[in-house]
Structure 1
Amino acid sequence: MSNKIKSFFQLLLISSIFWVFAFVLFTAIRYNGLEEELSLFTDDILYLPVNAYYKHAIIVGLIISVFYAIIEFVFDRLSKRVVLGLSIVFKSLVYFVLIIVVLSGISFLLEEQIDRDLPNEKGWWRDDPFFWITVIYFVVASIIFSLIRVANDRFGRGNFIQVLVGKYKRPKEQEHILMFIDLKDSTKIAEKLGHQKYSQFIQDCFIDLNMSLNNYGAEVYQYVGDEAVIYWPSNRGFKNNNCINLFFAFQKRLEKKQSYYTNKYAFNPKFKAGLHFGKLMVAEIGTIKKDLAFHGDVINTASRIQSLCNTFNKSLLVSESVIEKLSVSDTHYELLSHDMELRGKEERLRIYAINQG
Structure 2
Amino acid sequence: MANGSVTFWIIIGAVCAGFGALHGFLFQDGPSVIGMIYGGCIGVLAIAYERGVCFAGYRERLRRLPTLAYFAAAETSLLVVILAAKLVTGAVMWTLGVSEKTLTEAVTPKWSSIPYAMVVSALIIAALRVRDLIGGETFINLVLGRYHRPVSEERVFLFLDLVGSTAYAERHGDLAAQDLLKAVFAAIAEPVRRHRGQVDDYVGDQVIISWPLARGVEQARCVACVFAIRQTLIRDRRAWIARFGLVPEVRAALHGGSVVTAEVGVDRHKIAYFGDVINATARLEGLCREAGRSVLISDAVLSRLPALPEGIEAEALGPQRLRGRSGIMTVHALAESRRLQAVGEAGGRAGADLDDGLAMPGLAARAG
Q: How does the TM-score come out when normalised to structure 2?
A: 0.76
Rg (Cα) greater in structure: 1
Give deviations 1:294-345, integer Å, cap 9, x for gaps. Answer: 1111111111111111222221111112212334349733233322222233
> Structure 1 residues 238 and 99 mapped into 2: Cα distance closer, same or farther (>3 Å)?
farther
d(CA) in 2 for partners of 1:230, 1:84:
32
Task: Give 1:346's aligned residue.
Answer: 326
Task: Give 1:96's aligned residue.
Answer: 83
Task: Give 1:57's aligned residue.
Answer: 35
Tell me if 1:226 matches 2:205.
Answer: yes
2:265 to 279, 286, 291: 286
> Structure 1 residues 117 and 238 mapped into 2: Cα distance closer, same or farther (>3 Å)?
same
Task: Give 1:36's aligned residue.
Answer: none
Contact 1:262 1:268 (C-alpha < 8 Å) held by counterparts: yes
SS in 2 for 1:149: helix
d(CA) in 2 for partners of 1:233, 1:188:
35
SS in 2 for 1:169: coil
Task: Give 1:43's aligned residue.
Answer: none
Question: What 5-or-longer segments of structure 2 have no aligned partner?
Answer: 65-69, 341-368
d(CA) in 2 for partners of 1:133, 1:85:
30
| Greater displacement, 268-277 / 100-109 | 100-109
Task: Give 1:22's aligned residue.
Answer: 19
RMSD over equivalenced CA pairs, Å: 3.3
What pairs up with 1:137-148 in 2 under 5 angstroms? 137-148=116-127
d(CA) in 2 for partners of 1:280, 1:339:
23
Shift of residue 274 of structure 1?
Answer: 0.4
SS in 1 for 2:267: coil
Paired residue type of 2:316: L
Contact 2:46 2:121 (C-alpha < 8 Å) held by counterparts: no
What pairs up with 1:57-76 in 2 under 5 angstroms? 57-64=35-42, 67=45, 75=53
d(CA) in 1 for partners of 2:259, 2:184:
28
Contact 2:47 2:121 (C-alpha < 8 Å) held by counterparts: no
Contact 2:313 2:335 (C-alpha < 8 Å) held by counterparts: yes
> Structure 1 residues 233 and 189 mapped into 2: Cα distance closer, same or farther (>3 Å)?
same
1:242 to 196, 200, 221: 221
Contact 1:7 1:214 (C-alpha < 8 Å) held by counterparts: no
Shift of residue 7 of structure 1?
Answer: 5.2
Contact 2:254 2:296 (C-alpha < 8 Å) held by counterparts: yes
Shift of residue 72 of structure 1?
Answer: 6.1
Tell me if 1:258 matches 2:249.
Answer: no
SS in 2 for 1:248: helix
d(CA) in 2 for partners of 1:318, 1:165:
33
d(CA) in 1 for partners of 2:103, 2:236:
55
> Structure 1 residues 336 and 191 mapped into 2: Cα distance closer, same or farther (>3 Å)?
farther
Contact 1:337 1:352 (C-alpha < 8 Å) held by counterparts: yes
Paired residue type of 2:18: F
Tell me if 1:335 matches 2:315.
Answer: yes
Contact 1:306 1:317 (C-alpha < 8 Å) held by counterparts: yes
Contact 1:175 1:277 (C-alpha < 8 Å) held by counterparts: yes
Shift of residue 154 of structure 1?
Answer: 3.6
d(CA) in 2 for partners of 1:283, 1:84:
38
> Structure 1 residues 227 and 174 mapped into 2: Cα distance closer, same or farther (>3 Å)?
same
d(CA) in 1 for partners of 2:98, 2:258:
57
SS in 1 for 2:282: helix
Contact 1:16 1:65 (C-alpha < 8 Å) held by counterparts: yes
Aligned residues: 325
Paired residue type of 1:240: Q
